[in-house]
Structures are given as C-alpha cells and as structure tokens.
Amino acid sequence: MARAALFDVDGTLVDTNHLHVVTWWEALRQAGHDVTMHDVHGAIGLGSDDLLAHLLGEDRDQDQDAQLSAAHTALYGTYFDRLPSFEGAQDLLRELAARDWRIVLATSAGGPELKALRRAIDADDVIIGVASADDVSEGKPAPDPVHRALELAEADASDAVFVGDTVWDMKAAARAGVRAVGVLCGGIPRTALEEAGAEAVYDGPADLLGLLDTSVLAQMHRT
C-alpha cells in the first residue's frame, strides 16, 4: 500500500482561520446572536451545521442555519481572490510528493471556497484528491473525512499521517486510526492539540518541512 499524507486546509496550509472567525462572528451578530470571537475560534474546523450546534446549542432554531451559513459564505467570499497560503505550504506538499507520498486534502470546504483554497496553495499537480464536505455524511471530528481521504489515496490507516491545526482534526484522525500531526499556525494551543491526539506538533508547514527528516513522517515505512 502507498503512504498517504492527508492535510486539513484552513489554518493548516492556508491562513484563513481568523477570516472565518470574523465572518462567522459577523453573520451571527447580524442575526442577533451574541457569541464571542474566542468561542467562534474554538469551533473553526467544524462543518457549518456542527459549528452552529457547538456555538448555539442543539436547541437552537435550526431553520435559521441555512441563512447563517449563507451569510458567512457571502462575507467570507469577499476574500476568495486573496487567501494567503502559509510559508512553506506548497514546498512541503511538493517535497512529500517527491518522496512518493500521496497527497490528499481533507476539508469541510467545498464549491467556490475549495477552488479558492486550492488556488492559494498552488500545488494541484501533486494533490491527487480532495475529501470535501460534499463527499461525506459527517464532518470532523467524525472520522468520515479521513476515511474518504484514505480511499482517495488508496492507502491503509497504518500507512497514513494526518496534518491539521484543530482539535477536531486530531480527533478525526484518532477515530480513523491515523497518526495525527498538529500545527500551531491555526491558533490552537499545543496542549489542546496534544490532548486531542497529536503525536507531534510543529509551528506550521515551513517548520514541518525543515524538520521533515526527523518528523513522524520520516518514521513511516516506504512502499
């Protein structure tokens, strides 16, 4: 079986978490919900329905979910043409591909948002597939996105590593039986990532690239 390097996107490869915080906060504020930006930040990485359930509770008026999600999408969409990738993101993916890793993205983004993220990363030639929100019935922290990414990579869980920036990423990887690597560039504390299952934590893509030869990924056997 092949080795697979599975990557979250928002906050891991592309510097978008705080844009999501502000645009979700504004969408919620416009609808009359008083939610702190700190709380919104802790929910980033969840799909929209799960994010709203996390922030507003299961007893919220769920008929409002679609309107809130659409408002967030409209606000966030104004940034699509200038989303910034993190330093080293493209180089990390290319180096792993050169070492015969199969690169698959696992993200809650879809549609035009996903296209904007892929444009920011600018490494489509080494990305063999994307497990998006459109492909699974449950998003992170459920293991479904990771399972789908493994299918796309045609790899076993034991031959894969998942790199992400949120506790939801770490939990999804753990539930799928995949080794989890955390990055701090999304703004989540190291201890939170470790407690959620991160085997190792790096500052960001450039840090992981620089330490690649001594990283968790270097410990994985070759095909």
The DSSP secondary-structure symbol of 221 reads P
Is the pLDDT confidence value at 180 over 70? Answer: yes
| C-alpha to C-alpha distances, 221 to 4, 102, 182, nearest whole angstrom | 11, 14, 20
The DSSP secondary-structure symbol of 64 reads G
**Tokens standing for 136?**
């699974």
d(CA 11, CA 157): 23
Q: Supply the pTM of this predicted model.
A: 0.95
pLDDT tens for each residue of 133-164: 778 888 899 999 999 999 999 999 999 999 99
| Radius of gyration for the alpha carbons in the chain, expressed in angstroms and rounded | 17
Instruction: Report the candidate in 31, 111, 121, 35 with the shortest Cα–Cα distance to residue 73.
Output: 111
Q: How many CA atoms lie within 13 A of 8 on its CB side?
A: 35
Mean pLDDT of 115-144: 93
Q: Nearest 5 degrees, angle CA 165-CA 193-CA 42?
A: 65
